[in-house]
Amino acid sequence: MTAETPVTSPLGRPERLLLAAVALVLSVALVLLRGGLHPGAPLERLARQSLDLPVALSDGRPTLVEFYADWCEACRAMAPAMEALEKEKRGQLDVVLLNVDNPRWEPELERYAVNGIPQLELFNQRGDDIGRSLGARTAAELSSLSSALIAETPLPVLPGVGGLSDLRSVGGSLASGGPSPASPAPVGPRSHG
């Protein structure tokens, strides 16, 4: 019989302790970078703390409503900027998140013609829907939009952002058979035009 020789580690005790300390520091850093021990991502936290839409629209502050989904990459990428905006403008602007996968919001999805996400609906202090933003927004763009809402100034000129109008006032009267020949046909949110 042959005796097996024990396998020894090439690392001594000090090296193993140093390796364990580095692993612990990296683990703590990873937890902190992912939002601490809170299980919710920024989207979830914002959605949970959002006011109900009717309350937000009637409290005398402008409101920014985001239609989102948990699986939406653009929505998740925009979430930290939305969370920062909500913290920065708290008390001046209401930020409301509505998940398009929640059947509770089906009437709002239809009312605001949501057919792509993220979609922002922009409301003035009186609760009037004054604009829409389609697609992801940077922190600077969100700041511009919110500043315009708070100051009651025109919305910034950004791709995918527009004011809302009464279709009867665009291109002629609907009652008269549609747009006049001299004006272009109105572009709706589902036309992709």
Helix and strand counts by DSSP (H, E) for the chain = 6, 5
How far is CA 181 from its chain centroid? 39
Burial class (CB in 10 A: 0-12, 13-18, 19+), 91: exposed
Is residue 132 a contact partner of residue 122, using CB atoms and an 8 Å limit?
yes
Other beta carbons within 10 angstroms of residue 179's beta carbon come to 16
Is 72 designated active site?
yes
Strands 63-68 vs 94-99: parallel, antiparallel or unpaired: parallel
Assigned token pair, 56: 């937000």
Is 190 in a helix, a strand, or coil?
coil
- DSSP helix/strand/coil, 142: helix
| Residue 154 appears among annotated catalytic residues | no
Q: Which of 57, 72, 134, 142 is catalytic?
A: 72
Active-site residue identified among 47, 75, 78, 95: 75
Catalytic residues: 72, 75
